[in-house]
Amino acid sequence: MTTARHTVTARVIGTTLAVAVVSLISVGLGAGASQAHEAPHEAREHSLPSAGQGVPSAIPHEVACMRSYAKNPANNFTNYAAAIGAPEVTDAIHSGVQPCATFTGTMKGKNQVAQFTSTQSYPGEIQIVTFGGPNAAFLFGGAPWSPMPSYTEGPYISRFDPATGKEIWRRHLPMLDGQWVIPGSMAVVKDGSVAVAIGPRVYKLDPTTGTITVWGQQPVLDGQPQDANFDGFAVAPDARGTILLKTQNRSPGCTIQGSKAMSDCIAATGLPQPFTTFVAVDPVTLTNIAKINLGQAVPARPILVPHGKKTYVYLAGATQGLRIIWDPKARTLTQDPTWAPNYLLDGQGPGDGPVLIGKWVIFNSNAITSTSKYVCAVAVSQTDASDMHRICPWGVSLPAGGSSEAPSSFSTDPENSMIYMQDLIMGGVFGVHLDQATGTMKVLWSRPDWRTSDYLATMGPAKNRVLISQYIDPTGFTVDDLFDNGWRESVLWANAATGATVAQSAVNGPSDLAWFPMPGYAGRVYTMNIDGTLNIYLPLSCSRSTTQSVSPASATMCSTDYATLPQPVELPPLPPQS
């Protein structure tokens, strides 16, 4: 699903740039955002809805809003199901903006957060959650980032009840003998089918029964099929809805499983990672249409941008940004040699997947840990790769003994021209404004207390947008906790314009690193616990008539003095830049 989660758990400080273990996300926004809304009235009444129940009266609006939003080609939902979901699995630029998702609290007062944990635990952990509609909830399980000796049944897709997490059906995905098992990728496509890529194969499943209706094995141009994993499920906006995918690879002959195989196999075999294969797949038959060798190992996911009758595909390479051109009429894939920006500073690790605001492709860095340079954001014009702008809010050169890592891509809000940046090791989140005319960037606010491994997603209307992500509890935290699941966390809802806390859940055990809280229907938000269960959250606004309190108590309650909470730093001074 992602390029590789748990980079911190697999990491050896100082790993070379060639051994990438990365994740990506693509985000964007277009027309339709104004239809988003806060909670319907009953969420503010005396009786508190449960997290699993959510606010059902929000669903008709959410469904109608998504239908309208998906119809606009500018919103990049062409050939995807018109459904709320996670950024890596919902649209061609893997948008983190969900304007049709309901924020069930209030932006103008206090909130508490109800939560529910599913009684069902999914074996082999959950890697992805996504939706095809309010009652069509699906998950990808059984392909953990780190091998679990107790689990040997392999990857599967399940449909589950979005209110309880209870499984409705499960379908295991056949694999090659000796196949490298690493999280795959998936999406619910326009016809409602669940489309999945894992290993060298692509599958389509009937959403009602889970039956595999068609599957196809894709060519691997370097290395062996059992050592490849097609990742970064993306559907082109052409008439047929061509599926575009790329491989992650482990060294030939290696038997190490999980995400860390990309780095550990090099040491185990003495062989480098094979070069990445990029393919175009027929969306009906799942046969291969075109293939290209990228000439380097590119673990990070692509984003797809329409360009006339063609599609531009952007990727973060080991040293340069890449652009591939998909021509559906000629049925060809071509790497564009005229667009190859050097987006990294010396000493930075390669980035996660790029993100998009208007004409600007924005790269991050340090998906692989750097011990010499902080993570930065680089905006590159689609029309001129030499038109490049960089901002490094943490600074440029790390102090001796320091390290920096961003295992998830940045997020963007194009309607508000905002970029949201995070660094798991250094800690902190920055809200950065991009001038879409010039490409220059400015930090508007920072939250030094906010540590997240995850993507940051935004929901709600442009003028009232809420930013959500994991919030690792700073109490007693050390970076070593990331290696043994020793941290604790909550979900934080913040004002996207200012960074101020709007709501915060109770502090719970760890969820999967580098996979963020996902908005669903009826105002629900989901996280995936490392024990294979699902947490469901529901923010609830406080009022004078509110007499009930949620249990367990959330970090923000109706009695909370918000002035005592960690506060954002407005217009923080920028450290010396490169």
Interstrand relation of 525-528 and 534-541 (parallel, antiparallel or unpaired): antiparallel
Listed residue (286, 334, 282) closest to 310, CA to CA: 334
Domain positions in the chain are: 7-570
- Cβ atoms of 50 and 304 within 8 Å: the answer is no
- In the chain, the amino acid numbered 193 is S
- Cβ atoms of 280 and 242 within 8 Å: the answer is yes
State the CATH architecture for 7-570: 7 Propeller (2.130)
Cα–Cα dist 128/144, whole Å: 11
- pLDDT tens for 68-87 read 999 999 999 999 999 998 77
- pLDDT tens for 208-263 read 999 999 999 999 999 999 999 998 899 999 999 999 999 999 999 999 999 889 98
Task: Classify 370 as helix, strand or coil.
Answer: strand
Torsion of CA 96, 403, 499, 65, to 10 degrees: 0
pLDDT of residue 37: 52
Buried b / exposed e over 174-185, threshold 16 CB at 10 Å, is ebeeebbbbbbb
Structure tokens given for 11:
């990491």
Phi/psi at 501 (nearest 5 deg)?
Answer: -65, 130
Listed residue (190, 194, 206, 85) closest to 134, CA to CA: 85
Tens digit of pLDDT per residue, the chain (578 long)? 344 343 443 333 333 323 332 322 222 223 333 333 555 444 444 578 899 999 999 999 999 999 999 999 999 999 999 999 877 788 888 878 999 999 999 999 999 999 999 999 999 999 999 999 999 999 999 998 888 888 999 999 999 999 999 999 999 999 999 999 999 999 999 999 999 999 999 999 999 999 999 999 999 999 999 999 998 899 999 999 999 999 999 999 999 999 889 989 999 999 999 999 999 999 999 999 999 999 999 988 999 999 999 999 999 999 999 999 999 999 999 999 999 999 999 999 999 999 999 999 999 999 989 999 999 999 999 999 999 999 999 999 999 999 999 988 899 999 999 999 999 999 999 999 999 999 999 999 999 999 999 889 999 999 999 999 999 999 999 999 988 889 999 999 999 999 999 999 999 999 877 777 899 999 999 999 999 999 999 999 998 667 789 999 999 999 999 999 999 999 999 999 97
Task: Classify 535 as helix, strand or coil.
Answer: strand
Cα–Cα dist 206/188, whole Å: 10
Buried b / exposed e over 271-294, threshold 16 CB at 10 Å, is ebbbbbbbbbbbbeebeebbebeb
Listed residue (370, 472, 357) closest to 419, CA to CA: 357
Cα–Cα dist 254/272, whole Å: 11
